[in-house]
Each structure stands twice: as C-alpha cells, then as structure tokens.
Amino acid sequence: MYVAVKGGERAIDNAHDWLAEERRGPTDVPELSVDQIKSQMTLAVNRVMAEGSLYDPDLAALAIKQARGDLIEAIFLIRAYRTTLPRLGHSRPVETDKMACDRRISATFKDAPGGQVLGPTFDYTHRLLDFKLAADGETPEAATADPLQGDMPRITEFLNRDGLIQTEEPSDETPRDMTREPMEYPAGRPLRLQALTRGDEGFVLGMAYSTQRGYGRNHPFVGELRIGKVAVEMDIPELGFAVDIGEITVTECETVNQFHGSKTEPPQFTRGYGLVFGQTERKAISMALVDRALRWEELGEDNLGAPAQDEEFVLSHADNIQATGFLEHIKLPHYVDFQSELELVRKIRSEAQASTLKEAAE
Amino acid sequence: MSDPAYNFAYLDEQTKRMIRRAILKGIAIPGYQVPFASREMPMPYGWGTGGVQVSAACLVPEDTMKVIDQGADDTTNAVSIRKFFENTAGVATTEKTREATVIQTRHRIPEEPLTEDQILVYQVPIPEPLRFLEPRETETRKMHALEEYGLMHVKLYEDIAQHGNIATAYAYPVQVEGRYVMDPSPIPKFDNPKLEMAAIQLFGAGREQRIYAIPPYSKVVSLDFEDYPFEASKADHPCDLCGAEHTYLDEVIIDDAGGRMFVCSDTDYCGERQADGHRGRLSPKLEAAQ
C-alpha cells in the first residue's frame, strides 16, 4: 500500500552527516590541513580563486577541503561567499608592466629585453609518474638568482613602436560590472573579459581549441606570457592618494594574431588578451584566443559562424556554476511535468490507434 | 531562530531593493521579463535561486511561509528551501495553503484558491517562452518588443498537424493582458486556468536573471485555436486517497506488477479533504482514521 513519502528533512540531515564522514575519510589517516592544501595544491587553489572570482588562498583551500576536492563545488562555495561581501570600493587597474615575474616567455622572439624566464613550469617535464613521491616528498633545493630589477618591458610594445600591431585605445569609461548588472547583449569587450576570466577553464579551453582547429581561426602566437606578483593599489578618498593594499599573483597572456587587413584597417598584427588570478596559464592563453575570436566585428572580419565568434553563445555558457546548477537540477523531482507528458503521450497514442483501427475496419 | 551572521532573509538590503524594483516593474508591465542582477545564492542555479531571491525580497518578519515542490511540502528541495528561510529569516512556516502569506512553488499552483492577502512565488528555469523556437536572447527580446508571436502559433499549429494535438503538456504558453506571451513556469497545463487569481504572482529566474509578474485578477489566456481550444487536462481518475475528481493527480507505481494509484499532487489539499472525511478507493479503512 502507498505510504506518502515523508521524512525528507531527516533524510537530508542524514545525507549531510554521511557526506561529512566521507569527506574526512578513514580516521586512521591524518587529516589534511587547510595550510597543506594552500601550499601544496596551489594550482587547484589558483583555479578556485580565478573561477570563484575571489582572491583569497586560505578560503579557496578551505573550499577545496570542504568540497572533497571537487573544484567546481569549491568554486561554488567561494562564489556564494563572495556575493555576501560588502563592496568597499575599486582598486586602480593593476600595472602588469611592474609585475615581479616568476615566469615570462615569448614565443615570437628568440630573446627580448628582460629575457626568457621559464619559472616553475611543467612544460619540459617528462610526464613519468614519480614513484619517489609516493614514498617521501623531499626535493632538492632549486638554484636561485637575484631578482631582476626594474619594469619588465612588454613584447607587444616593441611591435607597437613600429606600428605593426593594432593599438589598444585607452578609455576612462567605467566598465559595466557583470556581478552587479544583468548581462545584456551585445556585451562589449570589458564584460566579455570579465566573463572569460571567471569562466570555466574547460569550456574556455575547448572554445580556444576550436579556433585553432578552424572554427574561427585567428593564427595566434603567444606574444608574451607572464606570471608574477602585482601590487593592488586603491585610492583612499580621505588620504587623497593611492596606497598599496596588497599584492596578488596573476597570469597575463597577450597573443599576437595575424590580420590581413580590412576595409578600415591596414594589414597588421592584432591582439588577444587574457588575465587570470593565480598561476593559471592554460586558462590565460585560452582566454586570449577566445577574446581575439570574439573581436571579429570590431576588426571588420567576417563572421564565419564559428561558436567562438558568437558572443552570446560563449558568454551565456562559460560559467560553470550556472551550468552545473542547471544541469544537475534535472535530478530534482519532475513527476508533475512527467505526469502531464504521460497523459499527453497516452492520449495521442490512443487517438492514433483508434484511427488505425477505424481505417482497418473501413 | 534566524542566524545573526546574515541579514534578515539572507540578502542585503541593497540587493533586496534592486529586486523589489524589478518586481514593481514586472507588476507594472504584466508578463514582461525584467532583467535583474541575480546574485549567487548558497543553493545551485536551477534549484530555485530566482524564487528564493524574490521571496527574500518580499518577506517581512510577520509573514508565514509555505514552500512546495511538485505540489508537496515534503519533497526534498521544498524542505531545503523552507529550512533556508527558517534559518535566515526566522519567519513562521506552514504547510497549510490558507495560513501562508508567501508561498514559493515549483511546478504547481495550489488547489485551494488563493486570496488577495497572499503572494505566490514561482521558481522558473527558462523564463523565455520563445527560447526553444529561437535560442538567441537578442532575437527573442526583439520579438517581444514587436509583439511578433507568429512563430509560437506556427509551432502550436505544427503540433496539431503532426500529432492531432498541441503537444505541450506543461509550461504551456499564455498571453497576459493581451500583450506579452509568457512562460507560466513548468506547471502542468491543468493549472493554467488558475493563473487568473486574486493573489499577486511573481516569477523568479535566477540563472537567467529575469523577474516577471501577473498582477491580481489579470487576464491570462492560454494560447490556442478556435477549432482546437485549450483544454486543462489531468489523469482521468479520482484521487485514491481523498476521492477528489477535480485535482491534479500523481501516478504512483505501487507494486512489482506495475499496479498504479492516483493521488493528489497537492498534499496539503488532499490531507485536508481526508481530515474532512473524504475517502478514496485505497483509503485506509475508517476505523484507522478515527
């Protein structure tokens, strides 16, 4: 006999308790500390900060711990937290020219002022499992050198001086803020860049990859990729000048793209731009490629109908918190809708059967 | 008790003000989708974040709140959202439709007629009724502006040509006050006639950043054709627990042989009828009820 499904509340509480137990795992294994995650899972922490749109390694590490290592879940925790924070003001634009670089490479020149600095990269590692790590994590000390003094010149500026690359016009217009206003299309470049920098790494990577394979091809070279610390300065009205309020690590990528010229522009190189919190170079390069693909209209290029050229398509599907929420909501009960579909299908079937029978009888 | 770490009903007052403005605009332009700067909520997008934000903006401490999903108060997500408001707003909650001042719903309109003192808040997944005919927001906004709804009629016509019926069973499109075509959220079309009611109806779509509204006693017409009039359909059975013949029913499989029973999806309504002595085919025998 039918028993009404009661006790949803107790089921939820029990599920949460079980979840907490699963997160902790066997208690004979020492618990991970937030500090360990913060200092040894740094690239995961970086991704959570970037897509969570909140620069706070401690909170990101806590979120990763709470989310059992599910990074999208951790990003969600950070987003839900950040939205409750008061907006105290705006920083000045960060000066990436003054970045203290850990890594800085250019693919377009063999060498350049400032030099090629490889930094801590996986690039030339052989992807062989290191079984020593399973035993103990001790590493030899890496060699050090004195930090480079002065600003790090921008590779694309060398091209700009010769007029070979399109100049970006500075603007004092306050960009719209996608966290405070509903998205509207056409969005324009500042909003596009905001959406891309917090967009899902996998999605942005896939979009960028599609341009390389011919869906809106734009021939990118990594003009420059730099990773390092930049100062964040804020104007304090009471003081009348800007003060340093801290520093953040960011990854910046400028691509140099071929451009054959259009009705309005002479042949020259063009740029794509990526800037992402933390050491997140896959994401920053991807962002630069997608940014460049989305600029087809302002550069007078043809719309090839490629997904990566379609601003509304890219921006409305880049956010993994929106995507995962909507995707997973189909787990919620839908039996009322399903019931109405059942009745409709039964009705259409019975009408179809009745008319077949009638035809057979005639 | 409400959690003192958060503002009343979770959202800060600035955000509530922004949402209330969108709600007022929505009421002023019945059926029009008002863009609003939806916030990230501590529950996932697609799980009622739009409804939760609208409810949070409407709630005052004196309110009594009811939350239903699929017509039932005890479905897991309804329980979760009710708990959220118990914790963050500390408002009284109820399962009685009549006692509630704010009702948040997903996929149903309560069977009990609502009054002028009540607000019904719908959770909306895809607010755009034209979305599956035209995926671009830039296009659909134009179509609404120009009142260009031919595409929708063609779709309904094609359904009839192909299936002999309009093949939309839920989220059946309506036109509000003779102007905007609106998605009533995925309620079964059985509920469509109830959209003309005394209560304020507010629709919140968090992920899609839209709020819209039907003011009390507005004219709401389900799209149809003269020769294929709209029909509010339901399973052709009475409720097996309370005997009601006029309510929307869930079909429940009750044994391994695929035996079925039909019960009211509105659990509060069904419970009240049973308490009033109504009986259905599978009701427990009377002595059990006494």
pLDDT digits (tens, 9 = 90+) for A10-48: 888 899 999 999 999 999 999 999 999 999 999 999 999
Same domain, residue pair A104 and A233: yes
Q: How far is A266 from B152, CA to CA, in rounded Å?
A: 46
User: Is residue B58 flagged as an active site residue?
Assistant: no
Q: How far is B290 from B282, CA to CA, in rounded Å?
A: 16
Query: How much is the pLDDT for A8?
Result: 72
Determine the structural domain holding residue A240 and report its residue range: 96-118+151-167+179-324
Query: How much is the pLDDT for B155?
Result: 94
DSSP character string of A276-290: EESS-HHHHHHHHHH
Q: Per the domain annotation, does A336 fall within a domain?
A: no
- According to DSSP, the β-strands at B34-35 and A220-236 are unpaired
B283 has pLDDT over 80: yes
User: What does DSSP assign to residue A169?
Assistant: P
- Count how many domains chain A has: 2
Q: SS in 3 state form for B16-60?
A: HHHHHHHHHHHHHCCCCCEECCCCCCCCCCCCCHHHHHHHHHHCC
Same domain, residue pair A76 and A201: no
Among B79, B125, B187, the residue with its CB nearest the CB of A8 is: B79
CA dihedral sign of residues A87, A88, A90, A94? negative
Q: Of B27, B71, B52, B65, whose CA–CA distance to B187 is shortest?
A: B71
Mean of pLDDT values over B198-224: 97
Indicate yes or no: CB of A340 within 8 angstroms of CB of B252. Answer: no
| Whether A324 contacts B44, CB under 8 Å | yes
Mean of pLDDT values over A95-119: 92
| Whether A323 contacts A313, CB under 8 Å | no
Q: How far is A73 from A79, CA to CA, in rounded Å?
A: 10
Tens digit of each residue's pLDDT (9 = 90 or more) over B34-62 = 999 999 999 999 999 999 999 999 999 99
Mean of pLDDT values over A269-292: 96
Same domain, residue pair A48 and A101: no
CATH code of the domain occupying B13-222: 3.40.50.11310
Q: For chain A, say whether B49 makes contact (Cβ under 8 Å).
A: yes
Q: For chain A, say whether B209 makes contact (Cβ under 8 Å).
A: yes
- Chain A residue with minimal CA distance to B262? A2
Same domain, residue pair A279 and A312: yes
Tens digit of each residue's pLDDT (9 = 90 or more) over B8-23 = 999 999 999 999 999 9
| Whether A83 contacts B40, CB under 8 Å | yes
Write out the E strands in A263-336: 270-277
Residue where the block lists tokens 């000066």? A95
Neighbours of B149 (CB within 10 A): 18
- Catalytic one among B26, B48, B270, B280? B270
Tens digit of each residue's pLDDT (9 = 90 or more) over A148-167 = 888 888 888 888 888 888 88
Among B40, B164, B265, the residue with its CB nearest the CB of A80 is: B40
Residue B204: pLDDT band (50, 70, 90) is very high
Q: How far is A138 from B153, CA to CA, in rounded Å?
A: 70
Q: Of A111, A108, A106, A115, whose CA–CA distance to A152 is shortest?
A: A115
Q: For chain A, say whether B205 makes contact (Cβ under 8 Å).
A: no
| Whether B258 contacts B249, CB under 8 Å | no
pLDDT-above-90 percentage for chain A: 64
Q: For chain A, say whether B228 makes contact (Cβ under 8 Å).
A: no
Neighbours of A229 (CB within 10 A): 15
Indicate yes or no: CB of B49 within 8 angstroms of CB of A325. Answer: yes
Domain spans, chain B: 13-222, 234-281
| Whether B77 contacts B47, CB under 8 Å | yes
Q: Which of A4-13, B158-167, B259-268 has the lowest mean pLDDT?
A: A4-13
Q: How far is B267 from B274, CA to CA, in rounded Å?
A: 11
Question: For residues A138 and B260, which has the higher predicted lDDT (pLDDT)?
Answer: B260
Query: How much is the pLDDT for B284?
Result: 78
Q: Which residues of B touch A9 (CB under 8 A)?
A: 74, 79, 83
Q: ipTM, 2 decimals?
A: 0.86
Task: Kindly report the average pLDDT of chain B as a whole number.
Answer: 94
Same domain, residue pair A199 and A162: yes
Mean of pLDDT values over A233-250: 94
Chain A with chain B: Cβ pairs closer than 8 A: 148
The reply to whether omega before A93 is within 30° of 0 (cis) is no
Same domain, residue pair A60 and A159: no
Indicate yes or no: CB of A339 within 8 angstroms of CB of B49. Answer: no
Identify the residue among B6, B10, B45, B230 best suited for mutation to test binding to A, counting A beta carbons within 10 A and taking the highest: B45
Which helix (H) or strand (E) segment holds residue B220: the answer is strand B220-222
Among B39, B125, B207, the residue with its CB nearest the CB of A83 is: B39
Q: Which residues of B touch A340 (CB under 8 A)?
A: 169-170, 188-190, 233
Q: How far is A315 from A43, CA to CA, in rounded Å?
A: 24
Same domain, residue pair A254 and A112: yes
Indicate yes or no: CB of B12 within 8 angstroms of CB of A325. Answer: no
**CB-based burial label for B116 (10 Å; 0-12, 13-18, 19+):** exposed
| Whether A149 contacts A156, CB under 8 Å | no
B202 has pLDDT over 80: yes
Q: How close is the nearest chain B Cα to the Cα of A24, in Å?
A: 22
Q: How close is the nearest chain A Cα to the Cα of B216, in Å?
A: 25
Q: How close is the nearest chain A Cα to the Cα of B260, in Å?
A: 10
- Chain B residue with minimal CA distance to A313? B136
Q: Which two tokens stand for residue A175?
A: 């960009």
Q: For chain A, say whether B164 makes contact (Cβ under 8 Å).
A: yes
**What contacts 24+ positions apart, CB below 8 Å, involve B57-62?**
B57/B9, B57/B11, B57/B15, B57/B16, B57/B19, B57/B20, B57/B23, B58/B23, B58/B102, B58/B119, B58/B121, B58/B202, B59/B8, B59/B9, B59/B85, B59/B89, B59/B91, B59/B102, B61/B8, B61/B89, B61/B90, B61/B91, B62/B101
How far CA B286 is from CA of A317, B183, B264, B268, in Å, comes to 56, 43, 20, 20
Q: Which residues of B touch A83 (CB under 8 A)?
A: 39-41
A89: left (phi over 0), alpha (psi -120 to 50) or beta: left
Neighbours of B234 (CB within 10 A): 19
Query: How much is the pLDDT for A5?
Result: 46
| Whether B70 contacts A355, CB under 8 Å | no
Same domain, residue pair A53 and A113: no
B2 has pLDDT over 60: no
Same domain, residue pair A44 and A112: no
Task: Kindly report the average pLDDT of chain A as a whole number.
Answer: 91
Q: Which residues of B touch A53 (CB under 8 A)?
A: none
Mean of pLDDT values over A264-274: 86
Indicate yes or no: CB of A12 within 8 angstroms of CB of B80. Answer: yes
Same domain, residue pair A156 and A290: yes
3-state secondary structure of B288: helix
Indicate yes or no: CB of B235 within 8 angstroms of CB of A339. Answer: yes
Q: How far is A38 from A294, CA to CA, in rounded Å?
A: 35
Q: How far is A285 from A85, CA to CA, in rounded Å?
A: 30
Q: Per the domain annotation, does A206 fall within a domain?
A: yes
Indicate yes or no: CB of B40 within 8 angstroms of CB of A8. Answer: no
Q: How far is A269 from A165, CA to CA, in rounded Å?
A: 4
Which pTM does this prediction carry? 0.90
Mean of pLDDT values over A291-320: 94
Same domain, residue pair A70 and A162: no
- According to DSSP, the β-strands at A100-105 and A220-236 are antiparallel
Same domain, residue pair A69 and A210: no
Q: For chain A, say whether B47 makes contact (Cβ under 8 Å).
A: yes
Tens digit of each residue's pLDDT (9 = 90 or more) over B65-111 = 999 999 999 988 999 999 999 999 999 999 999 999 999 999 999 99
Q: Per the domain annotation, does A334 fall within a domain?
A: no
Indicate yes or no: CB of A5 within 8 angstroms of CB of B233. Answer: no
Q: How far is A166 from A323, CA to CA, in rounded Å?
A: 35
A3 has pLDDT over 50: no
A132 has pLDDT over 60: yes
